[in-house]
Structure formats: structure tokens, C-alpha cells
Structure 1
Amino acid sequence: MGRPQNSFFHFAKGSYPIQTDDARRGHRHSASDLSPDSCSRNIPLFIAFRVLFHARFYYPVLGVLFLDLGLKLEQYAILNVIWAVTILLFEIPSGAIADVIGRRWMVIVAAALMVGEMSVFAFAPVGVWLFPLLIMNRVLSGMAEACASGADEALAYDSLPDEGRAERWRGVLATLMKWSSGGFFIAMTAGALAFDRQFIEAAARWVGWGGAIGSTTRWPIYLTLATSIPALICALAMREPPSKGKQETARQTLRSAMANILGAARFVFRDPRVRLLLLAAMLFDSLVRLFLTFGSNYYRLIEIPEFVNGFLGSFYALLGFLAAGMARRMGSRFSPAQAFFLVAAFIFTGLLGLCLGTPRWGVWVVIPLGLSMPILSFYVSSYLNEWTDSKIRATVLSFRGMALNMGYAAVGIGFACLVSSIRAASPSLSEGAIFGKALYALPTTFALGWLGIAL
């Protein structure tokens, strides 16, 4: 008996781009659709926007930052679920509207929302209003992520010349990975050092500053708020390719957006390769992102000093330079299924390492988990953009974002429930011990999920 057509082994055969309706009709975008200005400026602006939008200075201390502000571990997990659910609600509508009114405007909205979310995060007062305002921050952040996800990528992809577009895009992705690694390196190092009050006080004494330093808990947030301004400037400087600048009434825009959503849904659910690609991405991304979310808690568990967190985050970022070359070489040598099996091996090895919780030496898990995420992002973006028609590209990419955040939300809810059940069963355990016990669920979840996809 042959393998079922919806198995991952069917995806192994899918190394060739699908034929969309426009491709079957021989449709090609004319050279006049893309102005030289769009082609020359959108790509570097897209890279700059991505770097500024995603290099958050508070990432290396994210978990302990919320706890130091006065939240409980469950509240922190709930905030992450709210963030993911917000993205789910806005992801596809924002992508569909971007395909109709233009991707540039959606990127501008995303950048403006980033300024708003970081302002709330930076100035929310500690006390009874802290948790409600942080909920607002997570909602604004989720909306910003939803608006940017798909729209910026579709705008950049359609700004490339038609000839050799797929291969050119792989080059853009490799360049983006390197710049993102550099930006992430700076953000991780500076953010962790800014969070460490002892380091700031020592630096202040070294330069001769005699004033009081005060709390440095939110200093990484202030730095991120500062970088949100140039991100907005990059978004405003982008240009929409002329073919995307259609004028429609509000009713026509809504009708076109709904048509794009239906067309993208048919495309995603009917093509087995796209379906399996997104299922694998959901599994891989959700569990690695959960580790990244609680990374500072894990480092505290294995007795790593907090000032080292930034250096570990910086090392994680530098792995992107290695991952960029690995992804392109793997793409040229292996089928999609073979490449994903290798990424799965990286992730499973890292998740097993988390369970060991080896003091100090347990930091080695950063290597396999750090390599897996950029390689995964490279393949998902490369295949989806190559297989998708331009008319629904932002909408399909929004389905990708929705799928990834559905996985993250599900894992986040499950992890929060697991932590609560462990605390209820063993109320005498410390927060660190509860967290350590909860980590055992991650490799088990991954193994079961991967087995289900592979078969």
C-alpha cells in the first residue's frame, strides 16, 4: 500500500513550484508595473524595517522583566496567549486588505502600532493598572505584528524583477538573515547590559557620574521605543508598485478583501505541500518560540548570571550568519522533506537538552535551537512566495502568520495549564522547580507532533 497523499512524504515530492491560475494562463507582470524607484529602494528599506521591528532590546530578559515588574508566571503566560490570539484575529484581514489597498499602507500602520505598544510598555505604572495596561500593550503588539506579517514581505517580493524572482528572493532572505543577526546581536547585548543595574552603576562610576541611577528594569524598553521611530520612517519611505495602487470604494475594498481571503483559503487547504509545510512550521516554531519566551527563566534555572543573558542572546543572533549559508546549501542539495527532517533533528536535540537542566553547561541548547529558527523561516518564506500568485500573496503569507501563532497560542495555553497543575500538586515547589518540571513536556509534544505529520 502506498503512502497517503496527505503525508509528509508526499511533500518530499513537492520541490517544484505549483502552477497558479495566472501562471496557467501565461500571466506575467509587465516591467512597467514595477518602477525603478520601487525596485531600488524597497528591498533595503524592507531589510531595515524588519531589523528595527524585530530586534527588541528586552528580549534577553523578557521573562524576568515581567516578573520583576510584579507579575506572576501565569500572568506572563496569559499575556503571551493574548498576544498570539490578537494576531490570529487580525492576521488574515490585514493581509487581505493589504492586497487590495496596497501593502505600503499596512506596513505604515504596523510601524505606528509599534510606537504605540512600546509607549504603553515604557510608561505603564506599577500597581493595580499594570496588568490591564500590559494587556493593552500585548493587543497593540499583536496588531502590529499582524499588519507587518505578510504585507512587508509581499511588498518586497513584488518589487523584484520578474526574471529570476524566486532565486533573487532567496538572496534577499540570506541578506536579511545576516542583517537581522547583526541587529539582534546589538539588541541582545545592549538590552541585557541596560537591564543590569550593577553594570549601569559601574559604568556610571567609570565615566564620573555621581547621580542616582534608580531602577533599570525598563531601560531595554526605552531603547526599543527609540528604535520604533526609525522603523516608522522606513515604512513611510517605502513605495507601492504602481499595479498595487488601485482606487476602490469602501464596499469594493471589502468585497475584494473577502474574495482574497476565500481564494487564499482554497489555495492553502487544497494544496498538500502548502498544507504540510504550514503544519510542520506550526510545530517547529511554537516550541522553539516557547523556549525563547522563557529563555531567561531557563538561564536562571541553570544558574547563569543575568548579565550573561545578553551575551547568550548575542551568540544566538550570530548563529543567523551561519544559518544563512546553511539554509542556501541545504536548499540546493536536499528536498523539502529532507531539509525539514534536519531542522526537526536540531529542534528535538535542543528540547531534550532543556530537560537535563545541566547547571552552566546547559547553555549548549542555544546552538541547535538557534540554528533551527532562521533556517525554518528561510524555507517557509522561500516556498510560499514562490508558489503563491502575487494577487493573494500578502493574504497567503497572513495564513502563515495565523498558523504559526495558532501553534504558539496552543502551546502557551498548554504550558500555562501545566505550570498551574504542577503548582497545585506540589505547592511547596519554588518557581524554578515548577518551571524545570514543565520543560519535560516539550520534547514529548514535539515527538508526537512530528510523528503525526511525518506519517
Structure 2
Amino acid sequence: MTLKEILQIRNVRYFLMFRCSYFARFYYPIFTLLFLDYGLTLSQFAMLNVVWAATIVLAEVPSGAFADTLGRKKLVVLSSVIMFIEIAMIAVVPTDSANLVFVVFLINRILSGLAMALASGADEALAYDTLKDQGKEEAWPQVLQIQLRIASSVGIFVTLIGAAMYDVNFMTHIFQLIGLSVPESTQDIMRIPVFATLLVAIVAIYAAINMQEDRDTLPKHDSKLATSIASLRLTLNTGKWVLSTPYVLFILLYYSLFEHTSRMFLTMNSQYYRAIDIPIIYFGLIGAGVSVLKILLAGQSRRLAESTEPKTFLAIAGLVTIATYYWISLGWSIYGVVPVLLLIFIIMTMNIFISYHLNRKTESHNRATVLSFKGLMFNLGYGSIGVLYAYYYKLVSQNYTEQQIEQHLDFLASLSSFCYYFAFLFISVSAAFYLKNKQKTIF
């Protein structure tokens, strides 16, 4: 299918708009720095992300089941509205009280996790089933490739502007130009990228509202209680199916491992860039470079995901990822950006691979539920690594002086944990796969 033909499909068009606006957040290039400038510590930041992951774990699968029974569009719309609220909270919170800031960010992480859980699986299921109804489901990898390219194009703008909004020198010129008092530190300008994201959230709400769902395909029940019971039953049945289907189970296990480990590191990438002495203004240029990389290599990612034999793909991806985390742990100035770019390419390709194989093995009636299990397994991993990293970082930082901590030496020393953590789990999952595959061929 051509790009024009794909964009003519309403649900696919608004799916692309929703995904691209939902994740187009101007504060992402300086995500960790933003939290720290609000007055939080790095350990608090890690634990807040554990709360975020725990919320998704609790809400992920039930929300997917409700999407399959109550309606997927309802959940996508609700997700976009909650997203707007959670961003608005940190946009206006006063920073006079450290306790108040922590409580507001705690609520923000809970709402953010809930919003993510509600949308997870539901938006993808709407778009995929529309293609399937038209007999065009084989075009799904193309849709994912287009999503990567559009999101990356938007990301170039968002990351460049977002990082510039957080650079005091750059914003000083802007403030002088419009006749405002110049900012003295990042605390004076830290809310600007948050307010900019709030405007983009409105686009996500618009896209969600304009998605369509065939109500006739939803199960009919006599009451809301009956619908809830049906949702929980679907959740249990889907869980049993996932556990009894090795193909799907190991796809999800590998996905969770690659995704939650990389997400934990990439969440802290602004702190990593600062630790290897990269000025804040360049964070946007790096982010734009990442987006260009995705645009240029999206087609290659799709071809690798579609054509490479699964066992070969997973083995190569695992070994290269271990080497990449080791490279990151060296903390090389400037050149330390290269392994980050490599890690992003691996994860980009892995996501297409997982979505391609998972959707092929899943029936329409429980697609959103299965995709929610995908999110559940990722967030179980993300929550676990968040707790472990927060504890490990606290232990490591005790061995450094305040001056060394200001130089981020403790943070750089903690990065080797990613290599050991990923290598241990990758070998463990692969050993389990090998034993299971000997009994009966999985891939």
C-alpha cells in the first residue's frame, strides 16, 4: 500500500496522529533534569518511576479487557483527557514545599501510568482491526514504519525546541527580545516545556475523539456488572492462553527484557549526557539526530523484523545490546552518545519485530487484552529495575564525596549495573527458551 492509501483509512490516520502527539513531549530531552530542578532527588525520581510502572501493572490488563468489552475508543479518549490533567498538575505546582512537590509528582506518576494503561493496546487494536476488516492486515508493518517516521519528524522539532527552552543562554535572548526579565537559572524556565506539552495534549484528545469503533462488534451484556464480569473473565482466559502458548510467552518475555531495561536508561539519558559533559543546548541536537536516525533506518528496521528468522534476530539483538550497555558504562565524553544511538536502533527494531509477530498470533476478539499483557510484562520489569537501580545507586553514591557526586562520578559508576542486569536476564530467558524449544519447536 502507498502512504496515501494508508492515510485514507480513518482509524489508521487518527492512530498515527494520536501516537505522535501523545508522546511528543517537550520536556523529554531534559526529563530527569526537570524532576531534579523541581527539587526531587535522583533516588526519588527512580522511585516515582516505579510508582508509574506499578500503576500500569495494576491497570494494564483490566483496561485491555475493558477495551475489548466496553469499547476501545472510550478508553483512548479517557487516556488523552487524563494525560492533559497530569501534565497540567506539574505545570502549576508551586515549588516552595518539597513535600508538596513530591506529593504532586506522585499523583502525576499515578495518573500518567493510568493514562498509559488505558491507551495501551486499545489504540493499536482499533487501527489493526480496521486494516483486518478491509483485508489489509499485512500492511501493519508499513503502518508502524510510517508511525516511526512521522513520530521521528515531530521528534526533531520537539527535542530541538524542548532542549532550547531549557537552556538559560538561549532563553535569555528570547526573553530580552520580548522585553521580559532574563532568567537566572533553569528553575526560572523549567515550566515552559511543560506548558508547551500541554498544548500538544489537546491534539491527542482531538485524535482520540475522531477515532471510530463499530459498536456492533462489541459483546452485548445486560448490565454494567455483567460487562465487568465478562472483562475479568476475558482477562483470566487471555492470561491462561498467553502462559500456554510458548510462542507468545517468549515473545513477551524478550520484549519486556529489551524494553524495560532500555527505558530505564533512556529515561535518565539527560543525566547521562550531563555526566559526560555535553551542554544542555546540545541535548536537542542529539534528540533531533535520534529522530533523523529513526527516519532513515525505519525501513531497515521493518525489513529486519519481517525477514530475519526469530531465533537469529533475538540472539544478535541480545549480544549487541550487552556490548552496547558495556560501552555506555565506560562513560566516554562525546563518543558516549554513539552507544545510545545504537541502543535506540535496537529497541526500535525490536518493537516492530514484537508487534509484527504478536499481532499475527492474536485473534481480534482479545487483541487489546493480549497487547495489554505486553504492557503488563514490560511494566513489571520496569518497576523491578527501578527499585533495584534506586537501591544500587544509593549504595554506590555512599562511596563518593560531595564534590565527586557533583561531578556525577557516582552516577557513571552505577551504569555498569545495566550491562550485568541485562546479560543475566537475557541468558536466563534464552536458557529457558532453549529447553522449551527442545521439547517442541517454538519458532
Establish whether TM, by shorter chain, passes 0.5. Answer: yes
SS at match of 1:210: coil
* Equivalent in the alignment of 1:452: 428
Give the structure 2 partner of residue 109 of structure 1.
78
How far 1:162 sits from its partner (Å)?
4.0
How far did residue 108 of structure 1 move? Answer: 0.4
Task: Determine if contact 1:195/1:217 at 8 Å carries over to the other structure.
Answer: yes
Question: Is 1:307 matched up with 2:281?
Answer: yes
Q: Work out the percentage of aligned pairs sharing the same amino acid.
A: 34
Quick one: which of 52, 75, 78 aligns to 2:44? 75
Query: Does 2:371 align with 1:371?
Result: no
AA aligned to 1:82 is V
The alpha carbon displacement at 1:452 in A equals: 1.2
Structure 1 match to 2:202: 229
Q: AA paired with 1:331?
A: A
Aligned to 1:430: 405
1:75 maps to amino acid? Q
- Asked if structure 1 preserves the Cα contact closer than 8 Å seen for 2:53 and 2:113, the reply is yes
Q: Which runs of 5+ in 2 are unaligned?
A: 1-6, 432-443
Distance 1:91 1:385 in 2: 18
C-alpha contact (below 8 Å) 1:319/1:370 kept by paired residues: no
- Report the Cα distance in structure 1 between the residues aligned to 2:182 and 2:366, rounded to whole angstroms: 51
Aligned residues of 1:159 and 1:241 also touching (Cα < 8 A): no
**Pairwise CA RMSD of aligned residues?**
1.8
Alpha-carbon distance between aligned partners in 2 of 1:121 and 1:165, rounded to the nearest angstrom: 42
Quote how far apart the aligned CAs of 1:88 are: 0.5
Q: TM-score, normalised by structure 1?
A: 0.88
May I ask how many residue pairs the two structures share in their alignment? Answer: 417
CA displacement, residues 257-284 of structure 1 (integer Å, 9 cap, x when unaligned): 0121012101211111111111111111
Aligned partner of residue 333 in structure 2, secondary structure: coil
**Which residue, 413, 423, 426 being the options, matches 2:387?**
413
**CA, structure 1 residues 168+243, in 2 after alignment: closer, same or farther (shift >3 Å)?**
farther
**Equivalent of 1:383 in 337, 357, 368:** 357
Whether 1:217 aligns to 2:190 is yes
Distance of 1:245 and 1:232 partners within structure 2:
23
Which of 379, 393, 400 pairs up with 2:374?
400
Which string of whole-angstrom CA distances, capped at 9 and with x for unpartnered residues, describes residues 373-407 of structure 1?
A: 21111111111111111111111100000101111
- Cα shift readout 1:132-178 (whole Å, capped 9, x = no counterpart): 00101000100000001001001111111446544111111111111
Q: CA deviation at 1:219?
A: 1.1
- The answer to which of 308-317 and 108-117 deviates more is 308-317
Pairing 1:168-179 to 2, within 5 Å after superposition: 168-179=139-150
TM-score (norm 2): 0.90
1:327-366 mapped onto 2 (5 Å cutoff): 327-366=301-340
Does the residue aligned with 1:129 lie in a helix, a strand or coil? helix
Q: Distance in 1 between matches of 2:371 and 2:320?
A: 25
User: Could you say which residue in structure 2 is the equivalent of 1:156?
Assistant: 127
CA distance 1:330–1:94, change in 2 (3 Å): same
Residue 57 of structure 1 aligns to a residue whose secondary structure is: coil
Aligned counterparts of 2:386 and 2:298: Cα–Cα separation in 1: 28
Q: Partners in 2 of 1:114 and 1:277 — Cα distance?
A: 29
Which residue of 104, 117, 122 maps to 1:133?
104
- Distance between the aligned counterparts of 1:203 and 1:116, measured in 2? 28
Deviation at 1:358, TM superposition (A): 0.9
Quote how far apart the aligned CAs of 1:252 are: 1.3
Q: Rate the CA distance shift 1:144–1:282 in 2: closer, same or farther, 3 A.
A: same
Paired with 1:400 and 1:108, the residues of 2 have a C-alpha distance of 21
Determine the C-alpha separation between the residues in 1 that align with 2:132 and 2:8: 7
Amino acid at match of 1:348: I
Task: Return the letter of the residue paired with 1:454.
Answer: S
